[in-house]
Every structure is written in C-alpha cells, then in structure tokens.
Amino acid sequence: MLELFDQIEAAAAAIRERWSATPKVGVILGTGLGGFADQVTDVVAIDYEDIPNFPRSTAVSHRGRLVCGHLEGVPIVAMEGRIHQYEGYPLQQITLPVRVMKALGAETLIVTHAVGGMNPLYQAGDVMIIDDHINLMGDNPLVGINDDRLGVRFPDMSAPYTPELIDVGQEIARRENFVAHRGVVVAVTGPCLETRAEYRFLRMIGADVVGMSTIPEVIVAVHSELRVFGLSVITDMCLPDSLKPAVVEEIIAVANSAEPKLRALVSGIVTHEAKR
Amino acid sequence: MLELAAKVEQAASIVKQHWSETPLLGIVLGSGLGGLAEQIETDATIGYAELPNFPQTSAIGHRGQLVCGRLEGVPVVGFQGRFHLYEGNTAQAASLPVRLLKGLGADTLVVTNAAGGVNPTYAVGDVMLIEDQINLMFANPLVGINDDNLGPRFPDMSAPYDAKLMDVAAATARSADFVLHRGVYLAMLGPTYETRAE
C-alpha cells in the first residue's frame, strides 16, 4: 500500500492544475444518479482518464468524470460514475478517488447508490439514510501493509456514518415531507443479482437493503478520518417470496425518479457542512 | 500447491541446521502474546527473514522469529509473530509456519490470538478455549491443486480442535482457579474492526 501515497499526490496535483478551489465535500454519485451533477455550478469537469491512477468507469449509467464546482455556493467535487468491484478493479484502486478528495482538502464524503430493498416496509423509489453496514464483499480496501500517513492500521468501525449527519438528513426529509428510512446496507460483490435464498439470508443477518458498492469507499473514508453521509436509493424491492425478474432499465428509471429527494438531502448536508 | 512441499522442506532443513531436536508441539503466539516465548528455555532463535519463502510480519506486536527450545522440559517451537491476511498475505503463505512445524516432526499445534468478545457473558481479559470456528475470511489455505503428500483433498472439519486437549485445558483452568470459557471463534479478514451491524 506504500505506493498509494504517490498515486494520490499525482492525481490531486492533476486536478489542482485544472481547478484550484479546496472542496468542502466530496460526493460519489451512484447508478442512475449522475443527473444530480447538473446542479453543480462553475463546473470544471475532468474525465477520469485525464487523472493519473484513476480507474475507468465501465458500468451502465456511470459517466466517468469528476465534476468540480459549487453546490449551494459550497465548493465540492462529485464523482459522476463510480467504479465497482464487479468491474474487476481491486478495492484499493476503486477507493483511490476518496483518498484524492481527502488530499484536495475535503472534510466530508457523501456516498449515494442504488440498492435493492429487503425490508418489507420499504418501497421502490424510497431513500434510506445509511445507519450502518455489513461488508460481505469478501475483501477490504485496507488489506496490505498500512501506510500510517494515510490512516491507522485497525480503523474503528463503531460509527462509520457520522451520527450528526444522520440526524441532519432525517430533519431535511421531515421538512421536505418525504420518507427517509434509516437502516443497514449489506454489500456483496455482484454482478449477478441475488437469488431468493440469498435475499432471505441477507435479511436474516440484519440488512435492510443490498448493494454492490459504497462500503469500500466508506471504509477508506473512515481510514482517512472523513465525515460520512450515506444514501441508498431503493430501486426495486427484493422480497424473496414475491420476487420478479429485475430489469436494469426499470431500476435506473426508479433511481432517476428519486432524484428530487436525493437533491434535497445532498444539498442540505453540503449546506450544513459549510456552516461547521 | 505442488511446489509447497518443496518450500516446506527447504525451510525445515534450515531450522534443522540451527536446532537438531524434534519438537513435540508448536505454539503460534498472537497479538501481544509474544512474551510467552520468554518462558521457553531457548536453544535457537531464527528470524523469519532467514527462512526462504517465509513472509515477513508487518503487524504491531508481532516480532517475526522462531524460538526453538524447551517448555516444561518438552521440545517446542514458538512462532513469535504471525502472518495475517490483512497484511496482504495469501492464506497459503500465512499458514506456512504450520506446514513447517509438521515438517519438523511436531504432532500438536497450539494457537493463540487476541479477539473481540461478542458473547455478553464474557469480560475483557478472559480467555476462551476455541471449541469450533467459523471461517468468514473469504479465503481457504487449501485452495489449489491438492498435494496428497501433505494431506487429503477434503479434510473433515467435524472436530478441528482436539477434544481431549480441551478437557485438559478445562481441568488446568479449574485447578489454577481462573475462568476459561469454551466457545466459537469467528475469523474476519480485517483490518477494519466490525461495525455494529456486523
């Protein structure tokens, strides 16, 4: 992991050449949520391929560029398109952008992703504020010799999602009058969706929703001592006893329809963080 | 996995150059427990760096050497420092010391580790006899083509921890008057600690 430090520096330097502001917040936009980047003003967009050591996004509905600019007047960087373990990238490379955000000066990471809902009280189109997670990806981005300049060997995970931001998120949802659940996400590798037996198992171990991303980035954010706010957009319900085949186009359409809620929550969190 | 036997043989011959005895048992000393090696009347210490094919320990509280000598008059090998998967080692490399121990002629393995307690009736500072295990490390050291000289393709795991030794340990704790739990050990990859949901 010792070569990572130089890779981060090189990527951060390439971004600073194009955009000189210090971001307050970094945002990672998940499947179907890339349209959110249209909210950003004074945009400098940098393709991942123009940033040294950045992985390339190959997933459907992930554009693959870093959007630098202002949201509600606050400087932010947003990843339009994320990289997944199922694309074949090692977790250390997937999470490099989070380390670069930290190097650029960001203090907070907002992660969003599309998930399947397993808690029967949820509905497609709902959003869930992530309270906690279960890592079932079979890997960890911190495996390897630890670089103490980047973080501690054994990061504590008793509260990876900043409790204060969970409260702020729920207040925003109440004020804007929409439902925001608070629950546990489990991440699996994918890329196949889960079987009915797997959904039963994942529900049994305490997860409300299931996804194929986000947890590696959150682990690295905790390692980097960033504040974290996580949002899951429930794009389809995965109830094993009434399971219908998943249609990716529908999933993306539902994710897009949830965008107003996402916009309210992300904007509210960014504004809150700017006041700190 | 077929090159493994040669690696084990090579490491064993180097240990034998330093120490000619046949160990009865080997002890793997976990985080913070390396000091137990001081109890061993040492005949030879061999740094892991001297052993070909051995990974190096990078973990805090793990020294990285083999201590050969006698404990209670019995020839033993102590592994001061272990290899973890979170350090980037493969499971096959991490378990190489055990193969070496067998290559040296030992019959018994004693493993120790530092663990977080999830059973609410346990207290910090307690010790637990490992009765059984759950492997959630997403790796198995036996993955690969099996070398039948080292062991069978499908090892039975109905009782990985020796029942007689558990009884002996329980009797030891009773006579020494301290609490010894008996429970199930679950291994994760790490290096992050677990979340509440986990």
Q: Which among B13, B8, B22 is positioned nearest to B70, based on CA atoms? A: B22
Tell me which of B192, B193, B194, B198 to substitute to probe the interface with A (most A C-beta atoms closer than 10 Å): B192
Of all residues in chain A, the percent with pLDDT exceeding 90 is: 80
pLDDT number for residue A271: 96
pLDDT number for residue A179: 95
Search chain A and give the residue with CA nearest B137.
A138
- pLDDT exceeds 60 at position B188: yes
Identity of the residue in A153, A154, A160 whose CB atom sits nearest the CB atom of B195: A160
Identity of the residue in B59, B190, B195 whose CB atom sits nearest the CB atom of A140: B190
- Distance from the A176 Cα atom to the nearest Cα atom in chain B, whole angstroms: 29
CB spacing of B191 vs A155 below 8 angstroms: yes
For residues A168-195, give the mean pLDDT.
96
Of all residues in chain B, the percent with pLDDT exceeding 90 is: 70
**Alpha-carbon gap, residue B138 to B160, rounded angstroms:** 19
- pLDDT exceeds 60 at position A238: yes
pLDDT number for residue A183: 98
Which pLDDT band holds residue A34 (cuts at 50, 70, 90)? low
Top-confidence residue, B31 or A251 = A251
CB spacing of B88 vs A145 below 8 angstroms: yes
CB B48 within 8 A of CB B56: yes
- pLDDT exceeds 80 at position A133: yes
pLDDT number for residue A144: 92
- pLDDT exceeds 90 at position B52: no
- Distance from the A231 Cα atom to the nearest Cα atom in chain B, whole angstroms: 17
Helix locations, A224-258, DSSP H = 248-257
Helix locations, B63-197, DSSP H = 91-94, 96-103, 163-176
Q: Which of A21-35, B56-70, B73-87 has the highest mean pLDDT?
A: B73-87
- pLDDT exceeds 70 at position B34: no
Which residue shows structure tokens 């990471």?
A: A109
For residues A14-33, give the mean pLDDT.
91
pLDDT number for residue B49: 87
User: Cβ contacts (< 8 Å) between A159 and chain B: which residues?
Assistant: 196
pLDDT number for residue B104: 94
The overall average pLDDT reported for chain B is 90
**C-alpha angle A91-A92-A97 in degrees, rounded to nearest 5:** 100
pLDDT number for residue A63: 77
- Distance from the A212 Cα atom to the nearest Cα atom in chain B, whole angstroms: 17
CB spacing of A156 vs B193 below 8 angstroms: yes
Which pLDDT band holds residue B61 (cuts at 50, 70, 90)? low
- pLDDT exceeds 70 at position B2: no
User: Cβ contacts (< 8 Å) between B194 and chain A: which residues?
Assistant: 157
Which pLDDT band holds residue A46 (cuts at 50, 70, 90)? very high
CB spacing of A154 vs B198 below 8 angstroms: no
pLDDT number for residue A163: 98
Q: Which of residues 162-181 of A touch B (CB under 8 A)?
A: none
User: Cβ contacts (< 8 Å) between A158 and chain B: which residues?
Assistant: 193, 195-196
Tell me which of A92, A128, A133, A143 to substitute to probe the interface with B (most B C-beta atoms closer than 10 Å): A143
Bridge-based pairing state of the strands A74-80 and A25-29: parallel
Search chain A and give the residue with CA nearest B86.
A143
CB spacing of A143 vs B59 below 8 angstroms: no
ipTM value > 0.85 = no
Q: Spell out the long-range contacts of B162-170 with Cβ–Cβ below 8 A and sequence spacing 24 or more.
A: B162/B108, B165/B108, B166/B129, B166/B131, B169/B129, B170/B129
Tell me which of B83, B195, B196, B198 to substitute to probe the interface with A (most A C-beta atoms closer than 10 Å): B195
pLDDT number for residue A185: 98
- pLDDT exceeds 90 at position B174: yes
For residues A222-242, give the mean pLDDT.
95
- Distance from the B166 Cα atom to the nearest Cα atom in chain A, whole angstroms: 30
Question: pTM here?
Answer: 0.89
pLDDT number for residue A30: 82
Lowest-confidence region among A80-84, A104-108, B56-60: B56-60
Structure tokens at B17: 């150059």
The 10 Å Cβ neighbour count of residue A267 is 16
Counted across chains A and B, CB pairs separated by less than 8 A come out at 68
Of all residues in chain B, the percent with pLDDT exceeding 70 is: 95
pLDDT number for residue B62: 59
Lowest-confidence region among A182-191, B1-10, B120-129: B1-10
- Distance from the A153 Cα atom to the nearest Cα atom in chain B, whole angstroms: 7
pLDDT number for residue A81: 84
Residue ranges of chain B whose CB lies within 8 Å of a chain A CB: 58-60, 85-88, 138, 189-198
For residues A127-148, give the mean pLDDT.
96
Which pLDDT band holds residue A247 (cuts at 50, 70, 90)? confident
For residues B9-28, give the mean pLDDT.
93
Of all residues in chain A, the percent with pLDDT exceeding 70 is: 97
